[in-house]
Amino acid sequence: MRVTIYTDGAARGNPGPGGYGAVMHYVDPAGNLHVKELTEGFRRTTNNRMELLGVIVALECLRRPCTIDLYSDSKYVVDAFNQHWVDGWLKRGWKNAKKEPVKNADLWKRLLEAKKNHQVTFHWVKGHAGHPENERCDELATGSADGGGPLLVDEGFERSTDALFG
């Protein structure tokens, strides 16, 4: 199965209320296009966490191994794979090149688990440049960040800030 996934994340205030959006396309053997949209909002998070979560949730909803073209306007996400940052983090025990803990390691680990059964090619697209699916993902992400539904707790983010601020 070949699937195309578009994702985006947003946070108001960074950190602040945030959301992700994902649009998935699959063309079945009869040539019919199937589209699935995913979005959720969180009460306090960061843009990078939402960029990651959009990718994670899309991959987690696939029920069998797929060949995936994944499009994101997040250099953070795309470069982590295309420039092999993740490989270095794994070799260094989740430390970056400066020997500091990798930010958002909880989500990076979840992403690696979500993508392990798939063949994923990451593509960067310029954000806010009129790409229809990227614009739709942005609408989903910002709409959820702005309270388009219930705002969830980003446990990984709020736990880390609780540890800092008590």
- The DSSP line for 84-128 is -HHHHHHHTTSB-TTSPBPTTHHHHHHHHHHHTTSEEEEEE--TT
Joined tokens for residue 106: 């909880």
- The one catalytic residue among 18, 19, 40, 51: 51
From the list 18, 19, 73, 133, the catalytic residue is 73
Annotated catalytic, 128? yes
Reduced to 3 DSSP states, what percent helix, strand and coil does the chain have, rounded to the nearest 5? 40, 30, 30
9 is catalytic: yes
Q: Is 73 a catalytic residue?
A: yes
87, 128, 149, 155: the active-site residue: 128
Residue 138 in marked binding region: yes
**138 catalytically annotated:** yes
Taking alpha carbons only, the member of 35, 25, 22 closest to residue 111 is: 22
Check whether 73 is labelled as a binding-site residue.
yes
Q: Is 8 annotated as a binding residue?
A: yes
146 is a catalytic site residue: no
Smallest CA-to-CA distance from 81 within 54, 117, 120, 53 is with: 120
Dist. CA 154–CA 100, nearest whole Å: 22
- Is 69 annotated as catalytic? no
Return the active site residues: 8-9, 51, 73, 128, 138
**Known binding residues for Mg(2+):** 8, 51, 73, 138
Q: Which residues define the annotated binding site?
A: 8, 51, 73, 138
